Amino acid sequence: MELKPGDIVSVAHYSEDTSFQSIVLDVVENEVLLNLPKKFSIYNLFENDPVVLGFRAGLEIYAAECSIRIINVKDSSIALKVDNIEFVKEKRIFERFPVSLYADIRTHEDGNRKIACISNISLDGLAMVSRNEFFEEDTIDFDIYIDKRILRLSGSVIWKEKISGNFQYGIKIIYQDFNTKNSLKLYMNILKNEQEKAIMLLKE
């Protein structure tokens, strides 16, 4: 990973409307320790939350799909586990793209509202983290909050994994019409452009 202590990175978390800048304190293998800005409330963070870490290396722009491993309230720092790193400019819209998004979800079986976080998304599917347990082939309806708007999707659970008190799921998107797919394309372009802009504003 082309990061070192002192580097300035952009951080996207679903609790904030826009990305914010943070300073790298340390890098150990696939983990990054960050110092959070004073204006950011660390109490909005939870372990296993998805985070998008943006950074520059030379002329290249990267977006890393991360999850929060440790939260240190005393010194306002967090440790991120880096799961995947992508070239932002080279990402085609139909490929998996790292995000940190809040979603209200409901299953067709009970219809009760539950909470989930989306960690990556593509035109084919998405990955989500939730405290609630679902099962393979369950159908879930999503209200995903993007750019102060709601994107409504449906999907089927194709895999799940238990991770320290939460569950991570792979979801295959089920399209009811072309408008939904076109809306997702639009929102993915917005997210990609916002991430690229936030990274480009980083100080050298």
**Residue 165 banded pLDDT, cuts 50, 70, 90:** confident
**Residue 93 banded pLDDT, cuts 50, 70, 90:** low
pTM across the whole model: 0.86
Structure confidence at residue 203 (pLDDT) = 64
Structure confidence at residue 121 (pLDDT) = 93
Per-residue pLDDT tens digits for 107-158: 877 778 999 999 999 999 999 999 999 999 999 999 999 877 899 999 999 9
Q: Domain 8-93+192-200: which topology?
A: Ribosomal Protein L25; Chain P (2.40.240)
CA distances from 159 to 35, 47, 50, 185, 189 (A): 34, 21, 18, 24, 27
- The Cα–Cα gap between 203 and 96 comes to 27
**Residue 177 banded pLDDT, cuts 50, 70, 90:** confident
**Residue 49 banded pLDDT, cuts 50, 70, 90:** very high
3-state DSSP helix/strand/coil % of the chain, to nearest 5:
15, 55, 35
CATH says 97-190 is which class? mainly beta
Structure confidence at residue 197 (pLDDT) = 84
Other CB atoms within a 10 A radius of the CB of residue 191 amount to: 22
Domain ranges of the chain: 8-93+192-200, 97-190
Structure confidence at residue 34 (pLDDT) = 95
The answer on pLDDT for 85 being more than 70 is yes
